[in-house]
Structure 1
Amino acid sequence: MSVDTASGHAETREASQANQVRYLILAAQREGNRQLAQNLRPHGLTPAQAEILVVLSTREPLTLAELGRFIVCESGSPSRIVDALVRRGAVSRAPGLVDRRVVHLHLTTEGRELLAAIRDVDSAVAGAIADRINPDQLQVLVTALRGLVDGTDAGAKVTRRFGS
């Protein structure tokens, strides 16, 4: 049993490791988002905007609700992010052919042009991860993290995007 010196509470080794995992995931997520945001900034994009453009590039046309089932960056409806991308001219909205009340999202020419920069940034971030974690460790990490998010909404979104 160990004692958390900050709180004086005793915790088991297993609980201590579980807490470390939670904070390591948070730290890795923050560092990854920081790097991603820094690399996307010259292109005038946020990580959430980039994710939406990538999802649309592989699955368009999508309704806002359909898009929300694939993105991890935003819980709930991604309407605020899509609105910004529409104002920028990277995404367009078009009424459905059968039901004009349904609105489909499409990439515009500008949105497609941004994809090359996004893919370069994604490759750089993936390369930074590969430089720090060997392929065997990476597979163990993917398996462990999938185990953590299995059965959750975010886990389902990852599975929809990347398969199981």
Structure 2
Amino acid sequence: MRPAEQLRYLILAAQREGNRLLGQALRPLGVTPSQAEVIRVLQDRGPLTLNGLGELLVCESGTSPSRLVERLVAAGLVKREVATHDRRHIEVSLTAEGAELGREIIKIEDDLYRSIDAAADGHDLEPVFGFLRTFVADLPAGQALARRARR
């Protein structure tokens, strides 16, 4: 297997396994990893326009998060309102129930991050981070991640 192919499949395997672990942990809360990402972004940055939310999502980069938001609205976790500054824009924010769920999601994410930290213990990850940032820098998901990092 050539190095680029090995790298591709290692990244894919890590992403799938991480998402599987996250999905299992989120299942009792009744949300998917993509829905959890929407809740967390709104928790950190909300309220946002639908387009503004879409620009910060890695799970749905390059597409409108409308379907994700609609499911969360139906579940009573997110509310949609016409923006006061421009009636053409829809603003989304968390309901009280969504904010409470966001706090539960943080606990689950922290558990996952502790597991990743333990696996990474003793490894210098800075070269890996540098390579991956360069690799995704000009791609939609990489741009969304960069926008989220700029707090």
Q: TM-score range by the shorter chain?
A: over 0.9
Aligned residue number for residue 43 of structure 1:
29
Q: CA deviation at 1:95?
A: 1.0
Aligned residue number for residue 160 of structure 1:
147
Distance 2:105 2:127 in 1: 27
1:68-106 deviation line (CA, Å, top 9, x unaligned)? 100000131111110000000000011111322321001
SS in 1 for 2:10: helix
How much is the aligned-residue C-alpha RMSD, in angstroms? 1.5
Distance 2:69 2:118 in 1: 33
Distance 1:140 1:93 in 2: 41
Q: CA deviation at 1:135?
A: 6.2
1:122-137 alignment, distance < 5 Å: 122-134=109-121, 136-137=123-124
- My pick for the range that moved more, 76-85 or 126-135, is 126-135
Distance 1:137 1:28 in 2: 17
Distance 1:87 1:80 in 2: 11
Kindly indicate whether residue 54 of structure 2 is the aligned counterpart of residue 68 of structure 1.
yes
Kindly indicate whether residue 96 of structure 2 is the aligned counterpart of residue 96 of structure 1.
no
1:29-70 deviation line (CA, Å, top 9, x unaligned)? 000000000000000010000000111111111111111100
Q: CA deviation at 1:153?
A: 1.4
Aligned residue number for residue 56 of structure 1:
42
Aligned residue number for residue 81 of structure 1:
68
Aligned residue number for residue 30 of structure 1:
16
List runs of 5+ in structure 2 lacking aligned partners. none
Give the number of aligned pairs.
150
**Identical residues among aligned pairs (%):** 45
Q: Which amino acid aligns with 1:147?
A: T
1:115-163 deviation line (CA, Å, top 9, x unaligned)? 1111011101111111111265332322221121111111111111124
